[in-house]
Chains A and B, each alone.
Chain A
């Protein structure tokens, strides 16, 4: 399975990925759809945890530190003296793959990682952070069965 990010129509800017990519599938279907009443449904433990965890959105000091870190990583004028438009242009050519991520990303990692690899290309380069700041990742990881 490949996440196709090349435009389908020539020269277009709109990406049309194949909808079968796991990352897209998780974003699309988790927490969605008609809910069957609990008393007529067979309950499966792992799935409840998974959906609850995906709802967690971190808004905390930890988030702010990530934002600060990302801002500080920016290379504006300091090196090489490029002006703003040049910098922006450079970034478009693949310089900006670093992503910081919230809990949902954590869930996705838990789901996409481990065992059979399907070539998910969205490998993240996480900013290095002190060990004590990894609580949110641990929590999502603990839902792996």
Chain B
């Protein structure tokens, strides 16, 4: 424990019975206050302090089958709520430790410095996810009209059954896939060029659907949030004939905790 005085410090004693474990959501600075948000199974979220950092935990029954929908929502609800109040390092979904001693000794103690460093880096930074999806018909139309070989294969296969035109279809799909991937590379770069001035950091995530253009996790300084959002809006307007842009967030910095 550091000697820091925190206004709403609660007794961080968890009541664990046999068969209970500690669900761990993330790590925050030790001076982080409690946020009024319920965790997995609507359990109360505790701020378990140890040295300069603290873990966000709640009591969970270990034996119960993972009720994934609600657990996923609870996990992100807790992290996003704390992220709105200050820096937080997310822990991977579904992490449960045996008791609070283990959380302190096995999670916080060994990585104290690393967590403190990460939290300092993430302070004042917001994560957003930008998803760009092609208008499938628009981009496929570009692909077909832009390549005579694809247009010819399409003509040849479209009125035949899959069995009758199997080889041609595989070839057609392969060519379409190559064309899409070339377009994606160029369009993704255009998006990054437009937004990079506003970003602290970004991660490009893979995708494989036909309409996939780009999934980019970005870290934005809170003070530049408005400028970033304005730039994203302008980009969406510019691309709207061919693609839809969605901006989700701000959220906890799931993609920027230095692992993977």
A-to-B contact residues, CB < 8 Å: 5, 9, 12-17, 19-20, 22, 24-37, 40-42, 44, 46-47, 50-51, 57-59, 61, 63-72, 74, 76, 84, 87-88, 91-92, 95-96, 98-102, 104-105, 111-112, 115-116, 118, 129-130, 145
> Smallest CB-CB separation from B98: which chain A residue?
A42
Shortest Cβ distance from B184 into chain A, in angstroms? 13
Instruction: Report whether B169 and A22 are in contact in the complex, using a CB–CB cutoff of 8 Å.
Output: no
Instruction: Report whether A12 and B236 are in contact in the complex, using a CB–CB cutoff of 8 Å.
Output: yes
Instruction: Report whether B94 and A44 are in contact in the complex, using a CB–CB cutoff of 8 Å.
Output: yes
25 pairs from A and B in contact (CB 8 Å cutoff): A20-B77, A30-B72, A35-B259, A42-B62, A44-B96, A47-B93, A50-B68, A59-B208, A63-B177, A64-B171, A64-B177, A65-B162, A68-B172, A68-B173, A71-B144, A74-B137, A76-B144, A84-B141, A92-B135, A96-B138, A105-B209, A111-B68, A112-B69, A115-B69, A130-B163
Instruction: Report whether B24 and A36 are in contact in the complex, using a CB–CB cutoff of 8 Å.
Output: yes
Instruction: Report whether B94 and A19 are in contact in the complex, using a CB–CB cutoff of 8 Å.
Output: no
Shortest Cβ distance from B202 into chain A, in angstroms? 15
Instruction: Report whether A32 and B66 are in contact in the complex, using a CB–CB cutoff of 8 Å.
Output: no
CA distance A42 to B98 in the complex (A): 6
Given the known A-B contacts A29-B93, A71-B144, are A15 and B247 also in contact in the complex, defined by CB atoms under 8 Å? yes
Q: Write out the residue numbers on chain B whose beta carbons fall within 8 Å of the beta carbon of A116.
A: 69
CA distance A20 to B75 in the complex (A): 11
B141-167 Cβ-contact flags toward A at 8 Å (1 or 0)? 101110000100010011000110000
Instruction: Report whether A72 and B137 are in contact in the complex, using a CB–CB cutoff of 8 Å.
Output: no
> Smallest CB-CB separation from A103: which chain B residue?
B208
Q: Write out the residue numbers on chain A whose beta carbons fall within 8 Å of the beta carbon of B208.
A: 57-59, 63, 102, 104
Instruction: Report whether B73 and A20 are in contact in the complex, using a CB–CB cutoff of 8 Å.
Output: yes
> Smallest CB-CB separation from A11: which chain B residue?
B237
- Residues of chain B from 54 to 76 with CB closer than 8 A to chain A in the complex: 62, 65-66, 68-69, 72-73, 75-76
CA distance A11 to B175 in the complex (A): 37
Given the known A-B contacts A29-B90, A72-B158, A130-B162, are A40 and B102 also in contact in the complex, defined by CB atoms under 8 Å? yes
Per a CB cutoff under 8 Å, which of B72, B140, B158, B169 touches A111? B72
Q: Write out the residue numbers on chain A whose beta carbons fall within 8 Å of the beta carbon of B136.
A: 70, 91, 96, 98-99
Instruction: Report whether B169 and A14 are in contact in the complex, using a CB–CB cutoff of 8 Å.
Output: no
Instruction: Report whether A22 and B72 are in contact in the complex, using a CB–CB cutoff of 8 Å.
Output: yes
B242-259 Cβ-contact flags toward A at 8 Å (1 or 0)? 101111110100110101
Q: Write out the residue numbers on chain A whose beta carbons fall within 8 Å of the beta carbon of B27.
A: 34
Interface range, B side: 35 or more
Q: Write out the residue numbers on chain B whose beta carbons fall within 8 Å of the beta carbon of A13.
A: 233, 236-237, 239-240, 244-245
CA distance A4 to B145 in the complex (A): 34
Given contacts A29-B79, A71-B144, A99-B136, 14 further A-B contacts (CB under 8 A): A13-B236, A13-B244, A15-B245, A15-B246, A29-B90, A36-B95, A42-B21, A44-B96, A64-B170, A67-B176, A70-B210, A71-B143, A71-B173, A102-B209
Given the known A-B contacts A33-B257, A34-B90, A67-B210, are A9 and B173 also in contact in the complex, defined by CB atoms under 8 Å? no
